[in-house]
Amino acid sequence: MKEMMLRKFAEVFGDTEGVKAYFAPGRVNLIGEHTDYNGGHVFPCALTIGTYAAARKRQDNRLRFYSVNFEELGVIESSLEDLKPYKEADWTNYPKGVIWAFAQKGMEVPGGMDLLLYGNIPNGSGLSSSASVEVLTGFILRDMFGFPVDNEELALIGQFSENRFNGVNCGIMDQFAIAMGKAGHAIFLDTSNLSYEYAPVRLEDAKIVIACSNKKRGLGDSKYNERRQECEKALRDLQRIVDIKSLGELSEEEFETLEGVISDPVAIRRARHAVYENRRAVKAVEALKENRIEFFGKLMNNSHISLRDDYEVTGVELDTLVEEAWKVDGVIGSRMTGAGFGGCTVSIVKDKAIDTFIEQVGAAYEKKIGYKADFYVVEIGGGPTVL
């Protein structure tokens, strides 16, 4: 891949003098969805698919961007003096946002760069192509200019840029999973204080299979921000009678006792999902440690039902993929993953059932939805790296 990136860089920018190649993974969240902005736990892992870059410093302040995935846009030019989001060239808003965020954190980027990207994460799939680009850009800036930031800080800078520059109120999970990824392990992260532990994912005779619905969605213009507001409304009502900073602090029993103080019935359902999903994430990690994979799968299934009924972020495409997955013998668990409203499902499937799973779920999906889903049998990879 490194050779391909350097070859393409020379083709686009003229030569490869001073160029380095980099990689940052995508991520999938195994369980704990829409809990990261509610002070709860998440359980994501980095993937072996992600975003590749070839980059070099410039002696002036120009920024030149090129994406192999959007070749029709050609080279998009900008400069360090012109760091503001543009709708027309929206993918460049992610690297520009990170350069802007570094400056906001007191690390002024001293010069421009030529940056060529290629991602093999399906675009708009919910596997965090945007967070992958953000962490990758931060990693490149650190490598080029020697900024004193660790990987955890790269995650926070990526989140800050997405919140403030791109206007998407994402939580910390995506950037953290990508920046802190470890091969063969998922990250059990408490988003309230960023304490985390690596948990080995031992799937004997089974694999993680991602099904991409191919329904495109944009986070900023989806109902993502609306769900956050509904949870915040529930939290404000609860805070009138109980001293909590986030929904993630409540147990299921405490929530059942207190839910009557939430004035809006919709906000009750949103908060119920946040509380119960957080507890599912905690139980899921315990189940993995004890090698109770079947119970882990059951928690995944319950997670999807909650996201469908209480949080209402699934939609017919994701529901079809999951419901068809549940019919296949050898599927341990299946659920939507990511923000929802399109994107992907994640399933744990026994090796002997993978071909049947892809064939059966794929055929049923195309028949019902009218277009194909794509399937990826993935492995858990590490964090960002120089190639």
Whether 260 and 274 map to the same domain: the answer is yes
| CB 330 within 8 Å of CB 294 | no
Q: For residue 191, is it within any domain?
A: no
Token reading at 292 = 């109770």
Residue pLDDT, tens place only, 23-58: 999 999 999 999 989 999 999 999 999 999 999 999
Sign of the CA dihedral with 297 first, then 301, 304, and 306 last:
negative
Range of the domain at 232: 224-311
Question: What is the reported pLDDT for 271?
Answer: 98
Q: For residue 131, is it within any domain?
A: yes
Whether 130 and 252 map to the same domain: the answer is no
The average pLDDT across 338-342 equals 85
Whether 174 sits among the annotated catalytic residues: the reply is yes
Task: Give bridge partners of residue 114 from the DSSP assignment.
Answer: 56, 64
Catalytic pick from 15, 90, 114, 174? 174
Residue pLDDT, tens place only, 139-191: 999 999 999 999 999 999 999 999 999 888 788 889 999 999 999 999 999 99
Say how many C-beta atoms besides its own lie within 10 A of residue 204's C-beta. Answer: 8
The proportion of the chain whose per-residue pLDDT surpasses 90, expressed as a percent, equals: 84
Whether 154 and 15 map to the same domain: the answer is yes
Q: How many domains does the chain have?
A: 3
Question: What's 83's domain CATH number?
Answer: 3.30.230.10
Q: For residue 364, is it within any domain?
A: yes
Whether 325 and 346 map to the same domain: the answer is yes
Domain's final residue, options 278, 311, 344: 311
Question: What is the reported pLDDT for 220?
Answer: 44
Question: What is the reported pLDDT for 347?
Answer: 97
